[in-house]
A = this chain, B = another copy of it.
Amino acid sequence: TLQHLFKQIFKASLELMGEDEQKALLVSRKKHPDNTVVDVKGEHIGDGQQRLIAGPCSVESEEQVFTVAEALKNRGVNLLRGGAYKPRSSPYDFQGLGVEGLKILKKAGERFDMAVISEIVTPGDVEAADEYLDVIQIGARNMQNFELLKEVGATDKPVLLKRGLSATLSEFMNAAEYVMSRGNTNLMLCERGIRTYETATRNTLDISAVPILKQETHLPVLADVTHSTGRRDLLLPAAKAALAIGADAVMSEVHPDPAVALSDSAQQMDIEQFDNFINTLRAENLLKDGVEETARI
């Protein structure tokens, strides 16, 4: 068993090197103790204030997007999301408007002075995304689409990387490293629920992921309350928890008329519901967005 002890020492040394390597990740806070702040058209995500990101699941028309954008802007929300390329389980479901969707978003961003965020799904989309978007989102299904990560890593466009459906936090941080190792430091992480046995919610919001990622990395950490819960009635409670635990921003979906939405109608808020959502978060002092009491209408 002396031999065995030596083997163990050897293994310990290996693990030690493993830890050192982990420390050496560019995304690691050990490498970079200060918070990274990502400037998205003047919004400094990660600066200590908390923000909402909202918008329709899918971009369906200019009118639809403008209606939501105006409503958000009027409530002091400057970050607009909308899906143009929709990764759908079935090839026969609505697949999004594609580049036309990106153009609508850009127009909305210009008209209402908002930053626009949308997902792309393949390296071929990066050029268009770079032209039309303020933030490129990489969705859960593509968290380990490494060629896509490398491509967006080669731009300097802000990137919002979502956690994979069953990714460990270690895999998530390594996926982020793919982006950062190519030079792009404008990176944000987003917890969006993990797949578990529980079916009462679409996924299980892993709320502990937020403080762990804040601790282990220097990047802004967001929470997507729509995809994690999949239930309109849980958006507000989940947002409260995410803000209280320290998320830099909370994402949710807002549609002028969810009942006729082309995707995910059960989990989007209409504008009145969003009013209640944001007003409650501000009234309970959970959304620390620095918006003055008087400026909130």
A71 / chain B contacts, CB cutoff of 8 Å: none
**Could you tell me if A166 and B8 are in contact, using CB atoms closer than 8 angstroms?**
no
**Could you tell me if A198 and B206 are in contact, using CB atoms closer than 8 angstroms?**
yes
Closest to A122 in B: B147
**Could you tell me if B210 and A207 are in contact, using CB atoms closer than 8 angstroms?**
no
Q: Which of A59-67, A99-107, A111-119, A234-242 contacts B (4 or more CB under 8 A)?
A: A234-242
Per-residue B-contact encoding for A50-77, CB less than 8 Å = 1, 0 else: 0000000000000000000000000000
Closest to A198 in B: B168
Q: Which of B5, B92, B200, B208 contacts A238 (CB 8 A)?
A: B208
A168-B197, A168-B198, A204-B206 are known contacts. Are A244 and B122 too (CB-CB below 8 A)? no
Most buried by B among A92, A121, A123, A244: A244
A9-B9, A89-B171 are known contacts. Are A234 and B206 too (CB-CB below 8 A)? no
**Could you tell me if A237 and B229 are in contact, using CB atoms closer than 8 angstroms?**
no
Task: Judge whether A252 is part of the interface by a CB distance below 8 angstroms.
Answer: no
A234-B208, A234-B211 are known contacts. Are A166 and B146 too (CB-CB below 8 A)? no
Task: Judge whether A279 is part of the interface by a CB distance below 8 angstroms.
Answer: no
Cα distance A198–B89 in the bound complex, in angstroms? 16
Per-residue B-contact encoding for A1-23, CB less than 8 Å = 1, 0 else: 10011001101110110000100
A211 / chain B contacts, CB cutoff of 8 Å: 233-234, 237-238
Per-residue B-contact encoding for A113-142, CB less than 8 Å = 1, 0 else: 000000001111000000000000000011
Task: Judge whether A215 is part of the interface by a CB distance below 8 angstroms.
Answer: yes
Interface residues of A in 128-182 (CB under 8 A from B): 141-142, 144-148, 165-166, 168-171, 174-175, 177-178, 181
A124-B147, A169-B200, A197-B168 are known contacts. Are A174 and B240 too (CB-CB below 8 A)? no
